[in-house]
Structure 1
Amino acid sequence: MAEAADPAEVEYDKDNCRWRFKPRGLHITWSSDRRYWKMPEKGTDGPAELLDVCWLEINSSTPEPLSKGERYALSFKLSLQEVHSGWKNVPAFMLAKVGKKGIPNWAKINIADMNIGNVMEVPYGKLQFEVPKYAEDTTLYFGLYELWSGGWKSGLRIHEAVVEKMPVQSITLVHPR
């Protein structure tokens, strides 16, 4: 059904606390069947190309636990081919949850609204979440899904997924005069 995610296709930038999941570093349902997906060669930066599926399920998890009390963001880089189908009025959904029993954060992605050929980071502003300070399991579980319409879809390219630590925002206090 799906090839196992290849840990060698997940890159970690320690300086920026950022994971980059190439398509082969993700679990993509039906990716091992060439009727449904065209996968990039191992070790390359090419996208996974959706040929035709009615069940879009892409998921993964961080190889290392996230830091407690920190804020992170998840995004996918996607593009839509000129020849595509099945996305009109059919949103996809992104999920991010900290720990297997964590509370899921969702974002709705309207694939049909994407500009054809342009690689876009979705969702706009990224799906942000905080790792609870007292969480026992701080692994991030995440995915991109469209399982509910039952319609066949094609023409989507998955370039990568990114999980990154968000910078601490400073607050400037203004004192009245």
Structure 2
Amino acid sequence: MSEAADPGEVEYDEDTGRWRFKPRGLNITWSGTEGYWKMPEKGTDGPAELVQVCWLEIKGSTPKPLSKGERYGLSFKISMAEDKFGWKEAPGFMMAKVGKKGIAKWARINLEDVQRDHEMKVPLGKLRFEVSKKAQDTTLYFGFYEMWSGGWKGGLRIHEAVVEKMPD
């Protein structure tokens, strides 16, 4: 179904509080099946390219807890292949929640508007959230999804996911 996320494909910059998840550092459903995804070589910066799926589910979590009382932003760097299809009636959705029992924040992404072969960060302005000073579980759980349309889609490229501290 999917390959487990490789912790070696997640980078953390302690000075900036920025996490970078390469495609192999994410849990991508069906990524272990070549007919659905083309995955980059381990240790490279290449994107994961969606061949075709009707169930898009990309998940991740921070290997270490986030800092209490801080504000963060989540973004994915994506692009579309020349032969993209199926996105007209199928927007993507991004989700972020702090702690397994946290309240999810969502952003709707219109993937039909993503230009071919042009890398961009979504959502515009990042999906922003705050870690409560009282939170007990400060692990971030996040994802990128499209599973509700039931239609086949392809051509999406996932270059990275980034979680970073936001200035006040």
**What does residue 86 of structure 1 align with?**
86
Indicate the percent of aligned positions where both proteins have the same amino acid: 72
Distance 2:120 2:84 in 1: 16
**How far off its partner does 1:89 sit?**
2.3
Distance 1:43 1:49 in 2: 16
**Which digits, 9 at most, give the CA deviation of each residue in 1:10-69, with x for residues without a partner?**
000111110000000000000000000000000000000000100000001001100111
**What does residue 152 of structure 2 align with?**
152
Is the partner of 1:75 in helix, strand or coil? strand
Aligned AA for 1:132? Answer: S
**What does residue 96 of structure 1 align with?**
96
**What does residue 38 of structure 1 align with?**
38
| Partners of 2:9 and 2:43 within 8 A in 1 | yes
| Partners of 2:86 and 2:153 within 8 A in 1 | yes
**What does residue 20 of structure 1 align with?**
20
Is the partner of 2:8 in helix, strand or coil? helix
**Moved beyond 3 Å, runs of 4+:** none
Distance 1:117 1:150 in 2: 25
| Partners of 2:57 and 2:144 within 8 A in 1 | yes
**What does residue 69 of structure 1 align with?**
69
Distance 1:155 1:116 in 2: 9
Any stretches of 5+ residues in structure 1 without a counterpart? Answer: 169-177
Any stretches of 5+ residues in structure 2 without a counterpart? Answer: none
Using the size of structure 1 for normalisation, the TM-score is: 0.94
Aligned AA for 2:36? Answer: Y
Distance 1:113 1:138 in 2: 34
Decide which structure has the larger Cα Rg and report it: 1
Aligned AA for 1:107? Answer: A
Query: Structure 2 matches for 1:137-148, cutoff 5 A?
Result: 137-148=137-148
Q: How much is the aligned-residue C-alpha RMSD, in angstroms?
A: 0.5
**How far off its partner does 1:82 sit?**
1.3
Aligned AA for 1:84? Answer: K
Distance 1:48 1:19 in 2: 18
- The answer to whether 1:55 aligns with 2:55 is yes
Q: What is the aligned residue count?
A: 168
Distance 1:72 1:13 in 2: 14
Query: Structure 2 matches for 1:102-113, cutoff 5 A?
Result: 102-113=102-113
**How far off its partner does 1:167 sit?**
1.6
